[in-house]
Amino acid sequence: MPISDSAHREALIDRIYEAGLIPSLWPALLGELGAAVGGNGGFLFGVRDGYVSAVNSVEYDHMMPIFLKEGWSERDPLLPRAIAVNRAGFVTDYDLLSEEEIATNEVYCNFYRKHGIGYRAGTLIPMPIGDSIAIVLPRHQDKGPVPQEVVNLLDGLRPHLARASLAANRFGFERARAQVDALQALGLPGAVLRGPGRLFAANGLFDALIPSLFQDRAQRVTIADAAADALLAEALDTLSLAGSRAVKSIAVAATAAHVPMVLHVVPVRGSARDIFTQASALLVVTPVDRAAVPTAEVLQGLFDLTPAEARVARGIGQAATIDALADATGVNRETVRSQLKAVLSKTGLSRQQELVSLLAGKALPGG
């Protein structure tokens, strides 16, 4: 049924607002929008200095990872042209490129047309958090360029798409706030990061650690402790890697102002809401009680240790020697040394004495 049919249009607008409240509905909505304008599916991109993430209709489940990970998105000529034009409406290929450019551009010739995409209509919608959402509806090359009457119909839907996108963005922020407020209820400082590590939402306990422990920089959150900050930078760099799901736990040395702490970097994964908020990680800060060496079970949870590694860490914290630990556990000294080396690696420390100081709640040298 054509989108110009009023009943169909009203039903489509209803589904647009429904997707604003339930982000998992966007793939189906993009498919319906594409079909309504004589296209084949659609895309929704998060945009920040280029395409950074995407939701797509099912037609492009295979194509989208290739587009984002093999460099095609970086060479796509339309996005920088669309940003420069800055039109509050839909634009087509011919609004941004000449006919010769379309015929000869490598992305068109070697990627889009190989995947059945000849022409597109798209729009950019700015988000309050500084990024933009790009909605793109492609057509097969056999159908020719997107005609003006289709653009007019899409422009009629754009205010609804913008409001739905803004609603999804706001709901994403509220979910982030709820996450960190739940941590506050447990007595844990927490924050949600977006993109490469910029602060998106934080609870009061985390805010209280700024700027003595954390600094809210323009590029990313940093840690005053240089050694811990290097580990945080490494953890944040791996967030975008495919299959990277590990929780990174970082020991932060005590100072005169605060007890030693363990910072957990928990990746955010697999939800359409990340397109709207660009949430990339949850930071959870666990203070280490000065009054007691944590139990083996607590140590295991704090640093992702194996049970054997946790027992060694606790023993070292209680000033046990490697020989004593070997005798107590019935293994040889080299096994204990290997377990201790793994503990130091997982805690981001380099020396046995640093582990003792951390677990005793003391400031490390230079901390």
Q: Is the pLDDT of residue 326 over 70?
A: yes
What pTM was estimated for this model as a whole?
Answer: 0.68
Q: How far apart are CA 198 and CA 326, in angstroms?
A: 44
pLDDT-wise least confident of 15-19, 222-226, 273-277: 273-277
pLDDT at 287: 77
What pLDDT digit, counting tens, does each position of 202-211 carry? 999 999 999 8
Q: Contact, 218 vs 233, CB < 8 A?
A: no
Q: Is the pLDDT of residue 43 over 60?
A: yes
Q: Is the pLDDT of residue 141 over 50?
A: yes
Q: How far apart are CA 320 and CA 132, in angstroms?
A: 56
Q: How far apart are CA 165 and CA 361, in angstroms?
A: 46
How far is residue 175 CA from its own chain's centroid? 14
Alpha helices per DSSP H over the chain: 6-21, 26-36, 63-69, 72-75, 78-85, 93-96, 99-104, 106-107, 148-185, 204-207, 226-237, 273-277, 296-303, 307-317, 322-329, 333-347, 352-360
Q: What size, in residues, is the chain?
A: 367
DSSP 114: G
pLDDT-wise least confident of 116-120, 212-216, 217-221, 308-312: 308-312
Q: Is the pLDDT of residue 292 over 70?
A: no
pLDDT at 301: 55
**Section 6-24 average pLDDT:** 88
What pLDDT digit, counting tens, does each position of 168-210 carry? 888 888 888 888 888 888 788 899 988 788 888 899 999 999 9
3-state secondary structure of 166: helix
Answer with the residue of higher pLDDT: 348 or 231: 231
pLDDT at 367: 39
Please provide the average confidence, as pLDDT, over all residues in the chain. 82
Domains of the chain: 6-170 (3.30.450.80), 172-360 (1.10.10.10)
